[in-house]
Amino acid sequence: MTATHRIIGIVGSYRKDGTIDTAVTAVLAAAQAAGAETHKIYLQDQHIEFCTNCRACLQQPGPQRGKCVLHDDMAAILDQLDAADGLVLGAPVNFGNVNALTQRFVERCVCYGYWPWGQKAPSARQSQMTKRAVLVSSSAAPGFLARWLTSVTKTLQQLATLLGAKPIGTLWIGMIDPQAAQLSPRVQRRAQKLGQRLATT
């Protein structure tokens, strides 16, 4: 009997029920319909301190992520992501990159690297991508422009890599209306396809 996939969605938007939240929910719903167990985390509801760049977490050897000196909700969040089979990482475009809330989360994921004092460059603690990830973003500009003219895709790809996940697709919603979060039929079909792939690969 095949084990049930566990898929976790991260909503980095400031708006609940906004475009990012709606899109992440659509991907998770498709994964759940395909038999996966799903869970969603709103970053704005979590206590996440700013990384102080002390590099303490980078000094600890071994394949497991380094332990952060800060005491907040980050370790509990990462425990859930470590136990997941798939991730849905959602964040909006803000000034050419992910918004500040998501960037704070990304910076705290530095604990998945290893960079002891005296070593010239950092290295990854694990090279194998054991998870799969879907990347979700939205922009006021047309999607085909924002996707290539901003750093959001690259940042979300880096986040997925830090979390040990290989991106299998991107869901980008352009020309958004902040007052209307309804997804177009095309975007809904794309979300369904990506959710199904997360649940079955």
Owning domain of residue 168: 6-200
In a domain, 28, yes or no: yes
Q: Is 182 in a helix, a strand, or coil?
A: coil
Query: Residue 1: what pLDDT?
Result: 37
Instruction: Give how many domains the chain has, as a whole number.
Output: 1
Strand partners, 98: 93
* Type of residue found at 131: K
In a domain, 147, yes or no: yes
- Residue with token string 């102080």: 52
* Type of residue found at 61: P
User: Consecutive sets of 10 residues in the chain, 201 residues long: mean pLDDT of each?
Assistant: 83 96 98 97 98 96 94 98 97 95 98 94 84 95 84 96 96 84 92 96 81
In a domain, 99, yes or no: yes
- Distance between CA atoms of 27 and 183, rounded to whole angstroms? 12
DSSP string, 99-121: -HHHHHHHHHGGGGEE--TT-SS
In a domain, 86, yes or no: yes
Please enumerate in sequence order all residues whose Cβ is within 8 A of that of 76, keeping only pairs 6 or more positions apart, or say none: none
Query: Residue 36: what pLDDT?
Result: 97
Query: Residue 141: what pLDDT?
Result: 85
- Distance between CA atoms of 29 and 92, rounded to whole angstroms? 20
Q: Is 168 in a helix, a strand, or coil?
A: strand
In a domain, 23, yes or no: yes
Report the CATH number at residue 152: 3.40.50.360
In a domain, 1, yes or no: no
Query: Residue 2: what pLDDT?
Result: 55
